[in-house]
Amino acid sequence: MPEKPEVITVCKTLEKQILGKKIVDCHVYWDNIIVGKTNEFEEKIKGQTIEAMTTRGKWLVFFLSQDALLIHLRMEGRFYFRKMGEERSKHEHVVFVFENQEEMRFHDVRKFGKMMLVPKQDVFSLRPLNELGYEFDDPMLTEEYLLDKWQKKRLPIKSVLLDQSIIAGIGNIYDDEILFLSHISPFQRANTLTREEATLIIKNTRIVLEKAIQMGGTTIKSFESSEGVHGLFQNELAIHGRKNGICPVCGNRIEVTKIGGRGTYYCPFCQIEKKEAA
């Protein structure tokens, strides 16, 4: 699933292709992708120009003439550009037609993607964006903030880092990387983490995400930002999906397990779970 660096890569890629373009028509072929009424979505978006783009958490935010269009790629959502009239593949579920007869098509094999229109001026203070926690690079993301959010969380830190209402944008891959670099066991309960460990998590979250953003994200089977656009961060992953199964720090075998249903890679020697204080 695309995480913050991949969503930023998609945003930058699309910006080059669609900024300033007017949407003259829109066709939705799979209703469940649209939050709200499909025909209202199709009608409302017609005639609006794409004026600016940004990201919030894992959402793409398109500022249109009147509304903000929010798109969540979820598992495998991606965009393809086609000439008007070119045959539509069965996985292209939403088609945006531009004035120049070019089409931007939302391609989503798993059909988990989501799109919605929100009043532009209130986009950050309305659902779903107002439910998100701080971005990784927000100066408000501090040790105090995390310790406060974690104090009642008895879940493993692996699961808690995926909670978008605390830090927005971390997904399964970067979660493993951040914990490995921090020498923290993914099983460690969030409420047992110390201030020093919170400091390490903030520091390593910034290091991992910034580097991944610079490299255009991670290209994995389910992610490709747009045709022909591939990230390179997969070559930098220290622990998640590591092919030889050997920890790059201590040389012992990496463990692969599931935590909260999510595939988790960790080194049982470098990331030792601390016993809870009595």
Task: Give the active site residues.
Answer: 2-3, 58, 262
80 in contact with Zn ion (CB under 5 A): no
116 in contact with Zn ion (CB under 5 A): no
First-to-last alpha carbon distance for the chain, in angstroms, is: 38
Backbone angles phi, psi at 62, to 5 degrees: -105, 120
18 in contact with Zn ion (CB under 5 A): no
Q: What is the CA radius of gyration of the chain?
A: 20
Question: Minimum distance from CB of 267 to Zn ion (Å)?
Answer: 3
246 in contact with Zn ion (CB under 5 A): no
238 in contact with Zn ion (CB under 5 A): no
Based on CB atoms, which residue is closest to Zn ion, 195 or 253?
A: 253
Q: Which of 29, 30, 112, 269 binds Zn ion (CB under 5 A)?
A: 269
Question: Minimum distance from CB of 254 to Zn ion (Å)?
Answer: 8
Which among 119, 130, 217 is positioned nearest to 168, based on CA atoms?
130
1 in contact with Zn ion (CB under 5 A): no
Binding window for Zn ion (CB under 5 A); candidates: 12-20, 131-139, 179-187, 245-253: 245-253
Backbone angles phi, psi at 73, to 5 degrees: -75, -20
Binding window for Zn ion (CB under 5 A); candidates: 96-104, 105-113, 129-137, 246-254: 246-254
Which among 33, 115, 108, 58 is positioned nearest to 78, based on CA atoms?
108
Q: Which residues pair with 86 in a beta bridge?
A: none
Binning the chain into helix, strand and coil, the percentages to the nearest 5 are: 30, 25, 45
Q: Which stretches of the chain bind Zn ion, using CB under 5 A?
A: 247, 249-250, 267, 269-270
